[in-house]
Amino acid sequence: MSSRVRKAVIPAAGLGTRFLPATKATPKEMLPVVDKPAIQYVVEEVVRSGIDDVLIITGRNKPSLEDHFDRVVELEDTLERDEGKRELLDRVRASTDLAHLHFVRQKDPHGLGHAVSCAAEHVGREPFAVLLGDDLIDERDELLTRMIDVQAEKGGCVLALLEVPPEQISLYGCAAVEATDTPDVVTVTELVEKPAAKDAPSNLALIGRYVLSPEIFDVLAETPPGRGGEIQVTDAIARLIDPEAVGGPVHGVVFRGRRYDTGDKADYLRSIVQLACDRADLGPDFRAWLTEFAASRLPLGDPDVPLQP
Ligand code: G1P
């Protein structure tokens, strides 16, 4: 029906205000999640789905994003001379050889929709994936691959949807849907950006994975500022729901796997703990410590009693 997705776009131009002052001089996408910056997890996810052309939309003060994926020859030389640093060297090299990365700057911060529109020239007239760095998807759950397959079959746009507790829906774009014959695939009938819980048409939240048709660029160019005075990608996709619209239909893949939200401080901490627990190298010791720590604090642990090393 349409060509298979070959390009991915990662908007990374936000100011990271929720993590100030850590994000004064460091982009939030560079904050470490265990031992890799969040953005590297997202690029790795793209690559696992079979895409190797990645455009990162950056903003001012974000040169470290580009530096992270570049080679550091002096560092590699130093590691190479030390036999014991072989694995580290491999990990450093792997982060520079991941994909064909491209960078473009969003010059004015007019919101996510505007950031996506900065990809128009690079993407051209083909479907493409968009991944937001606040949401990390566990490597054991192949959400993006599934979305790309659904898009190849049905055309139009495909959104990742996650059921959230109703009181949390106001933090997300929200989708009203109808079932299809495929259990994890739904037809999207309405989209609202961050509705109040009482106005939300469902508790299905948009998590930051999209496969979009190129017509989204035409719609974005005409989309007025929405919620928060920003150009919202949710509003633009909503216009492709219309059965007459070129660039539709809009489907959703309902995700039931493991997602790590790194978008605010508490979620960021939870993400790191979960990922560290599952790591083969760190997990066993870390879990043992965590169990002891939790027992000393919960349910009535005294935070003033020091934990024995
Ligand atoms: C953005 C989108 C929202 C989506 C969310 C997912 O909001 O506008 O529709 O649900 O990402 O993380 P943000 O979290 O950037 O405010």
CB atoms closer than 10 angstroms to residue 230:
17
CB atoms closer than 10 angstroms to residue 192:
22
Tell which wins on pLDDT, 297 or 245. Answer: 245
- Band (pLDDT 50/70/90 cuts) for residue 76 is confident
- Write down the pLDDT at residue 299: 66
- Write down the pLDDT at residue 70: 87
Nearest alpha carbon, ligand 1 atom 5: 172
Q: What angle do CA 10, 201, 157 make, to 5 degrees?
A: 35
The preferred substitution site among 18, 106, 110, 112 for testing ligand 1, maximizing ligand atoms within 8 Å of CB, is 112
- Write down the pLDDT at residue 85: 85
- Write down the pLDDT at residue 82: 85
pLDDT at 296 over 90: no
CB-count burial class (<10 Å; 0-12, 13-18, 19+) for 204: buried
Ligand 1 interacting residues, C-beta cut-off 6 A: 112, 132, 134-135, 172-173, 193, 205-208, 232, 234, 263
CB-count burial class (<10 Å; 0-12, 13-18, 19+) for 87: exposed
Residues contacting residue 24 through CB under 8 Å, at least 6 positions apart: none
Give per-residue pLDDT as tens, 238-257: 999 998 889 989 999 999 99
Could you please state the CATH topology (level 3) that the domain comprising 7-263 is classified under: Spore Coat Polysaccharide Biosynthesis Protein SpsA; Chain A (3.90.550)
Average pLDDT for 92-113: 90
- Using the structure block, give the residue that is written with the tokens 């470490």: 32
Question: Are 128 and 212 contacting, i.e. CB atoms less than 8 angstroms apart?
Answer: yes
- Write down the pLDDT at residue 139: 92
Nearest atom of ligand 1 to the alpha carbon of 205? 10
Nearest atom of ligand 1 to the alpha carbon of 227? 8
Average pLDDT for 213-228: 95
Cα 2 to ligand 1 centre (Å):
27
Question: Are 238 and 188 contacting, i.e. CB atoms less than 8 angstroms apart?
Answer: no
Q: What angle do CA 269, 271, 273 make, to 5 degrees?
A: 70
- Band (pLDDT 50/70/90 cuts) for residue 278 is very high
Of all helices (H) and strands (E), which one includes residue 295? helix 283-297
pLDDT > 70 fraction of the chain, expressed in percent and rounded: 95
Tokens of 120: 């128009």
**E-strand spans in the chain?**
7-11, 32-33, 36-37, 53-58, 100-105, 128-131, 135-137, 157-163, 173-179, 185-193, 204-212, 250-254, 259-261
Give per-residue pLDDT as tens, 141-174: 999 999 999 999 999 999 999 999 999 999 999 9
Cα–Cα distance for residue pair 134/98, rounded to 1 Å? 20
Residues contacting residue 197 through CB under 8 Å, at least 6 positions apart: 166, 167, 169, 170
Task: For the chain, give every domain's residue range.
Answer: 7-263
Question: Are 253 and 158 contacting, i.e. CB atoms less than 8 angstroms apart?
Answer: yes
Strands 185-193 and 259-261: what pairing?
Answer: unpaired
Nearest alpha carbon, ligand 1 atom 11: 208
